[in-house]
Structure 1
Amino acid sequence: MAPSSNTPPAERQYGTIGGVRPVPIPTPTRGASQHRGPYRTLSGHSRSARSQLIQRDGEYVTDVENNDLKRGLAQRHLSMMGIAGSIGTGLFLGLGIAVQKAGPLGALLGYAVVGLIVCAVQFALGEVAALLPVTGSFVRHAELLVDPAWGFAIGWNLVYGNLLSIPSEITAICVLFEFWTDINPALFIVIFIVITLAVGLAFIRVFGEVEFVFALLKIFLVVFLIILGLIINLGGIPGTERIGLRYWHDPGPFVEYIASGSWGKFLGFWAVMTGAVFSFAGVESLAMAAAETQNPRRAIPLACKRVFARIIIFYMLAVFVVGLLVPSNDERLDGSGDSVAQSPFVIAAQAAGIPAIASFVNAIVITSAWSASNQSLLAGTRVLYGLALKGQAPEIFLRTTSWGTPYMCVLFFACFMPLSFMSLSNGAMTVFWWLVSLTAAGVLVSWASILFNHIRLRQGMKKQGIDDERLPWHNWWTVYSSPGALVLCLVILFTSGFSVFTTGRWDAATFVSSYLDIPIVLTAYIAWKMRNKTKMVSLDEMPLHAIFDQAYSPHPDEPPPKQRGVIRFASWIWD
C-alpha cells in the first residue's frame, strides 16, 4: 500500500522495518560540528536534543558519527590491523596446546578448517561493509538486514566478548613474564592496564600508528620464527642435530583424546577448534571503526581481500613449523608438572642452545599480546558507541573527547580489565583458558552474524531485482561460501565443550565457559524483541534501493596516495 501524504518524509522514501525506520546515510555538511567543551554536539543541538534527534529521526544517526568521530585511520592501518591484529597469544602460546591435544597434523588440519571459515567471513564482511561503512559494522548491518533485536543482541554480545578478550591477553602476558621472573604478576597487570588505557583514549590516528608498528613487528617476528624454526629443524644451528619429521613419527601425527583409535584422533583434531577460533579472533574488527576510516568503501574491501591470504599463510606455516620443532608430549606446552607454560618457539630456541633468541622471542610475544588487547578495546568501544547511537545503550556512551575518542566507552571497558587479577588466585593458564573459551564462543556468534547478514543481503537483492554488479565489491563464490561457513560456525559453537559430556570429565567451569554465551545472546534477543515488538526484516522491506542510491555520497573516494621513499618497498605487506 502506498504511503499517505501524512507519512513522515523518511518513511515515505524508505518505508519501515518491523516498525523501526531504517537509517539512510546522509551527506555530511561541512562545518556542522563545533567544539563545545570536552565533547561536541550535533549542529548546535544540546546533548539532550541530540538524543531526541537520534530517537526520533533515524537519518541523523550517521551524521553524529561524521561530526563526533575523526577519520584518522588510513587503508594501511586497516590492512595491518587485519593482518596482524589477530596475531597474539592465540598464535604464540595457543599453538603449543593445539599440538599437544591433536598432534602436529591434527593441529594443522584444525587451523586449516578455521582458516577457511575466516576467509568466508572476511569476504562476506567486505561485501556488506563496503556498501554500509558505519561504526559498529556488522552489528548495525544486522538491524537493517535481519532484525533490530538481533542487532541489539549481537552488539552487546560483541561488547561482552571484547570485555573478556582484553583480560585474557593481559593474563597471557603474566604467563609469558614467568619465563624470566617470579615477581608478583600484579605489577605487570597494572602496567599493561595503564598503557592500554592510554592508547585507547588517544586520537584514533595514534592507535593506528601504534598498531601499525606492532603489526610490522609481529609479522617480521612470525617470518623470523618460521625461518628460524626451519633452520633448527634442518640442523642448521651448530651443535644441534637434524630433526626433520621425527616428531611426526614419534609421538606421531595425531594424538588420541578421550577415546582411542581413529575416533580418539578425530576428537583430538576437533578439540583444537576453540583455540583456533580464539587465535583468529580479531580479523572481523577491521571494519568496526568505519566512521573513523578514510575512504572506507575503498579501504575496507582492499583490507579484506589482501589480508586473508597473508593470515592463512602465516598461520598455516607457523602451525606446521611448531609441529616440526616440539613433540606433542612436551609438558612445557601447557605448564603441567613443575614447568612454566611457554611458547613452542621459545622451547625450540632453548633446545637449540640459543637462550638470547628465546628471550627476544618472548619479549615480542608479550608486545603481540598487548597489541591484541588494544584491538579488542577498539572493536568493543566502537560497537558500544554504535549501540548508543541507536538508543540501545545509555546516551552517556556517546560522549567523545575534542579529538573524537568515545572516552566513556573506553572508561567502561577499563572497569573490566581487572578481571585479569583472577590469575593471581587460580593460576594464570587456568584463567587464560577459561577466558579463551568464553571469548571464542562470542567470536563464533559474531562470525555467524556476519555470514547471515551477507546471506540476507544477497537474498534481499535478488528479491528486489538488484544486480550484484551494483555492489561496491562482490565475488561470485560468496553465495556458496557464506552458507557453508555459517553451518561450520554453528557446529563448532554447539560442540566446543564436548569433553564435559564424556564419562568422568564433567567440569562446571569448562561447561560454563563453553556455553554461557549462547543463553546470553538469546536472552538479549528475546528481551529486546518483546520490549520493542520488533519483527524480522522481510526481504521486500529492506531499504536496499535507498542504500544503493546513496552508497557513494557520504564518503566519495579520494585517489590513493602514491608511496614514496623506503615505505614504497615495504608497502607490499599491506597493499
Structure 2
Amino acid sequence: MEHQHHNASSPKPHLDVGVDTTIYGADGPHHAHSIYGGDHEHDGDFLTELENNRLQRGLHQRHIQMIAIAGAIGTGLFLGLGSSIQTGGPLGALLGYATVGLIVCAVQFALGEVAALLPVTGSFVRHAEFLVDPALGFAIGWNIVYGNLLSVPAEISAICVLFQYWTDINSALFICIFILITFLVGISFVGIYGEVEFWFAVLKILLVIFLIIFGLVVDLGGVPGVDRIGFRYWKNPGPFVEHIATGRWGEFLGYWSVMTSAVFSFAGVESLAMAAAETHNPRRNIPKACKKVFARVLIFYVLAVLIVGMIVSSADPRLGEYTGNAAMSPFVIVASSAGIRAIPSIVNAVVITSAWSSSNQALLSGTRVLYGLAIKRQAPAIFLRTTSWGVPYVCVCFNTCFMFLAFMSLSSSAMTVFYWLVDLTAAGVLVSWSCILFNHTRLCAAMRKQGISRRELPFYNSWTQYSSPAALVMCQVILWTGGFSVFTKGGWDAATFVSAYLDIPLVTAAFLLWKFVIKKTKVVDLSTLPIRAALDQVAANPEPPEEELGKNRWRFARFLWD
C-alpha cells in the first residue's frame, strides 16, 4: 500500500465516526466508513476506506498529465479552428483562445489546491458537498454522469463519420468495434487506461507540433509552388471579422463568439483529478499536473490559432463547410491547396484516436463520479461494487449500455433526437468550471474565517484567492451569453438555444430537488468546516519524496510530460 494511503487507525480530530456503508468487492460485502470520519454533513467527503481499500492506485504523474492533455487536444483543435478564424478573424480568434486560456489557468490551479487537500474519487463533485452544500454535489454529479453517458456514444458516432472519409463500409461495424474496445479499456485495470491515454496524447502532441511547423513552413514560402504569405491575411481581409453587427461592436461580438466556442475546445482539462483515489501520490502529482497541463495546452492552442490565422484567410468559404472529418481542418485545406496528399489522411487518423480517447475519458469520468455519488448515498449502492483489480464494474456496465445509443446515428430522424439529448449538457463545461472555482473560493473564505493560513495547504499559490473569483465571474458571463446570437433579429435557432441554456435549469432543478424535497440540506457553515482535521491528516500521512528522474536514454523525451 502506498505511503499516502490513510488507515482506519489514523487520528480523527474534531470529527465523529463516519458513515457506515455496505460495499461490495469481488469477495463479497464489506462495511466501510470515512477514513477521516465526518459528521452528518460531511460523511464520505474525505478519502473513504472504500476508496482506500477497493480502488487501486494505478495512475502515475505522466498518466494524469496526459489524460488532461488528451481530453483538451481533440477535434476542437484539429477541425474546429477554421470556424473560429471565420467568425472572429485571426486576431479575434487569438484573443478569444488566450482569454479562455487564462480562465483555464485559474480553474486548473483552483482544482489543484482543493484536490491536494481532498484527493477523493469524483474530484470537484465531492468537493462541492464538503465546501458548499451536499445538494450542489448531487446536482453537479448527476449532470456530469448524464453528460458522459451521452458523450461516449456521441464520440463513437463521430468516429463513424471520420471513417467514412476513407471507406463506405457500413458504420454499424465500426460502432460495434468501438463499443467493444471502449468497454474493454474501461473494465481493465486503471493503469491500462492510463497507458492508452498516455500514448494517444503523445500522438496528438506530435501531430500538433508537426502541424504548427508545417503551417509555419507554408507561411514562409517553404513549399514549392506556394508564395510566401506572412501576415497577408491579417491585413486583408483584416485582423477581426464583423459578426452579427457592424463596426467595432460587430468585431467584439466576433471575438466573443470565438471565446464561447473556445471553452468547449478546452473541455477535459478538469477531468485529471476525477480518479484522484486511483493516483499515486495525489497530493503531489495532481497539482504538478494541473500546473504543467495548463502551460502545454495553452501554448499548443495559442500557437495553433496564430498559425492558422496566418495561413488561411478568414474569408475562405471552405472554412464554413462542415463535413465532420479531416476535410474541414484548416491545415488540410492548406495542404490540399499546396498539393500535399498525405496530410489529410494523417490528420483524419489522429482525429479518430482523439475521438476514441475522448470516449475513454468520458467513460472514466462518468463512472468515477457515479461511484462517488454512490459513496454519498446519492446513487444506488449497487454502483459501489468493484472488481478484484479495483474497477467499479457496475458503473462501467451501466455506462456501456448507453453506448448503444450510437446506433441512432444510422437513422437521420433518430440522430436528430440523439443530438438534442447531447445538446442538453453542452454548457456542462462552464457549469463544472464554475463549480471548481466556487469550491476554491469557499475554501479560501473558510480558512480566513477560521484563522488558518493558506500556507498550510499541501499546494497553494498566493494569487489564486483573487483569480478564482475573477474567473468565476467570467465563466458565468460566458455561460449566460453563450447563446446570444439566438436573441438577435432573424438569429433564432432551437438547437443553439438548447445547447446554450437548457443545462442551467436541469442543474438548478436537481439542486432544488435534493435540497428542499429529498434531503433538505443546508449550506455548509464556513466556521464548522473540518479543515484543520484535513490538514492534520495531511501532516500525519506524508507522501514519499519524489524520485529523481535519473539519467537514461529517454530523458530527452520527458519534456512531453515532466
User: Paired residue for 2:536?
Assistant: 549
**Post-superposition shift, 1:235?**
1.3
> Taking structure 1 as reference, are residues 470 and 286 closer, same or farther at Cα in structure 2, changes over 3 Å only?
same
- Distance change (3 Å), C-alpha of 1:381 and 1:539: same
Asked if 2 retains the 8 angstrom alpha-carbon contact of 1:127 and 1:454, the reply is: yes
Residues 1:251 and 2:242 are matched in the alignment: no
Matching of residues 145-160 of structure 1 within 5 Å: 145-160=131-146
Output aligned runs, 1:417-432, within 5 Å: 417-426=403-412
Equivalent of 2:351, from 360, 365, 383? Answer: 365
Provide, for residues 26-55 of structure 1, a one-character-per-residue CA deviation record: whole Å limited to 9, x for no partner.
xxxxxxx9xx9x7245xxxx25x5599999
Retained in 2: the 8 A contact 1:171–1:432? Answer: no
Structure 1 residues 230 and 215 mapped into 2: Cα distance closer, same or farther (>3 Å)? same
Q: Within 5 A, what are the aligned runs for 1:166-205?
A: 166-205=152-191
- For residue 254 of structure 2, what is the aligned residue in structure 1? 268
Q: Distance in 1 between matches of 2:323 and 2:272?
A: 40
2:202 matched to 1:216?
A: yes
1:280-325 per-residue CA deviation (whole Å, 9 max, x = no partner) reads 1110111111110011111111111122111110010011111122
- TM-score, normalising length from structure 2? 0.90
Post-superposition Cα deviations, 1:331-388, rounded to whole Å, max 9, x if no partner, equal: 4334359998521122221111111122112211211221122112111111111111
Paired letter, 2:299? I
Match of 1:567 among 545, 554, 557: 554
Residue correspondence of structure 1 range 311-350 to structure 2 within 5 A? 311-335=297-321, 342-350=328-336
Partner of 1:306: 292
Find the aligned partners of 2:89 and 2:164 in 1 and give their Cα distance. Answer: 26
* Range moving further from structure 2, 255-264 or 223-232: 255-264
Cα separation, partners in 2 of 1:413 and 1:321, compared to 1, 3 Å: same
Identify if the C-alpha distance between structure 1 residues 195 and 339 changes in structure 2 by more than 3 Å, giving closer, same or farther: closer
- Structure 1 residues 2-13: aligned runs within 5 Å: 13=13
Relative to structure 1, the CA distance from residue 501 to residue 370 in structure 2 (aligned partners, 3 Å threshold; closer, same or farther) is: same
CA distance in 2, matches of 1:557, 1:52: 23
Query: Structure 1 residues 555, 179: closer, same or farther in 2, change over 3 A?
Result: farther
Please tell me whether residue 78 in structure 1 is matched to residue 64 in structure 2: yes
Contact residue 401 and residue 407 of structure 1 kept, 8 A: yes
**CA shift in 2, pair 1:333/1:430, >3 Å:** farther
In the alignment, is the contact (CA less than 8 A) between 2:33 and 2:50 conserved in 1? no
Q: Deviations over 1:119-177 (max 9, x none)?
A: 00000000110011111111111111101111111111121222233233333333433
C-alpha offsets along residues 521-544 of structure 1, whole Å, 9 cap, x if unaligned? 111111111211111011111111
- The 1-side partners of 2:531 and 2:540 are apart by 15
1:376 to 2:362 alignment: yes
Name the residue aligned to 2:466.
480
- 1:556/1:148 Cα in 2 relative to 1: closer, same or farther (>3 Å)? same
Query: 1:503, CA displacement in angstroms?
Result: 1.4
The answer to whether the 8 Å contact 1:22/1:543 transfers is no
The offset of 1:330, in angstroms, is 3.2
Task: Indicate the RMSD between aligned Cα atoms, in angstroms.
Answer: 3.1
Q: 1:133 is matched with which residue?
A: 119
- Residues of 2 paired with 1:215 and 1:192: CA distance? 18
CA contact 2:121–2:275 (8 Å) conserved in 1: yes
* Alignment partners' CA distance in 1, 2:75 and 2:14: 46
Deviation of 1:234 (Å)? 1.3
Compared CA separation, residues 326 and 168, structure 1 to 2 (3 A): farther
Counterpart residue number, 1:110: 96
Whether 2:289 is the aligned partner of 1:289: answer no
Aligned counterparts of 1:51 and 1:338: Cα–Cα separation in 2: 48
Deviations 1:247-299 (A, max 9, x none): 22333322222222222222222222332111111101111111100111111
Letter in 1 for 2:214: L
Corresponding letter in the other structure for 2:486:
V
- Which of 447, 460, 477 is 1:461 aligned to? 447
- Residues 331 and 436 of structure 1, relative CA distance in 2, 3 Å threshold: farther
In structure 1, distance between residues paired with 2:108 and 2:324: 41
| CA-to-aligned-CA distance 1:185-237 (integer Å, 9 cap, x gap) | 33333322222121111110100111111111111111111001111111111
Rounded to whole Å, the distance in 2 between the matches of 1:52 and 1:74 is: 24
Instruction: State yes or no: 1:231 paired with 2:217.
Output: yes
Secondary structure at the counterpart of residue 550 of structure 1: helix
C-alpha distance in 2, partners of 1:125/1:535?
24
Which residue type is aligned with residue 337 of structure 2?
A: A
Aligned positions, number? 547
Q: Check 1:352–1:323 CA distance in 2 against 1; reply closer, same or farther (3 A cut).
A: same
DSSP 3-state at the match of 1:85: helix
With 159-168 and 101-110 compared, the bigger mean Cα shift is at 159-168
Secondary structure, aligned partner of 1:415:
helix
**Counterpart contact for 1:452–1:486, Cα < 8 Å:** yes
- Per-residue CA deviations over 1:399-437 (Å, capped at 9, x if unaligned) read 111111111111222222234444444499989986885
| Residue 337 to residue 393, structure 1, CA distance change in 2 (3 Å) | closer
Change beyond 3 A, Cα 1:211–1:317: same
Question: Corresponding residue for 2:14?
Answer: 14
Aligned partners of 1:22 and 1:144 also within 8 Å: no
Q: Secondary structure at the match of 1:72?
A: coil
Match of 2:4 in 1: none
What is the distance in 1 between the residues matched to 2:249 and 2:437?
30
Give me the whole-angstrom Cα distance separating, in 1, the residues matched to 2:228 and 2:414.
34
Partner of 1:442: 428
The alpha-carbon distance between structure 1 residues 561 and 290, as it changes in their structure 2 partners (threshold 3 A), is farther
Give distance in 2, aligned partners of 1:323 and 1:431. Answer: 35
- The AA in structure 2 aligned to 1:559 is E
| Letter matched to residue 263 of structure 1 | W
Distance 1:22 1:477, change over 3 A: farther
2:6 maps to none
Greater displacement, 553-562 / 347-356: 553-562
TM-score (norm 1): 0.88
Offset, 1:513 = 1.7
Letter in 1 for 2:14: Y
In 2, the alpha carbon distance for the partners of 1:233 and 1:52 equals 59
Letter in 2 for 1:571: R
Does the C-alpha gap of structure 1 residues 120 and 230 become closer, same or farther in structure 2, counting only changes over 3 Å?
same
Corresponding position: 1:522 with 2:530:
no
- Partners of 2:343 and 2:392 lie apart in 1 by 40
What 5-or-longer segments of structure 1 have no aligned partner?
1-9, 25-32
**1:56 Cα deviation after fit:** 9.8
From 480, 491, 494, the counterpart of 1:505: 491
Structure 1 residue 560: deviation in Å? 2.3
* Alignment check: 8 A CA contact 2:79 2:326 kept: no
Give, in whole Å, the separation in 2 of the partners of 1:157 and 1:499: 25
Q: Where does residue 535 of structure 1 map in the other structure?
A: 522
8 A contact 2:15–2:38 mirrored in 1: no
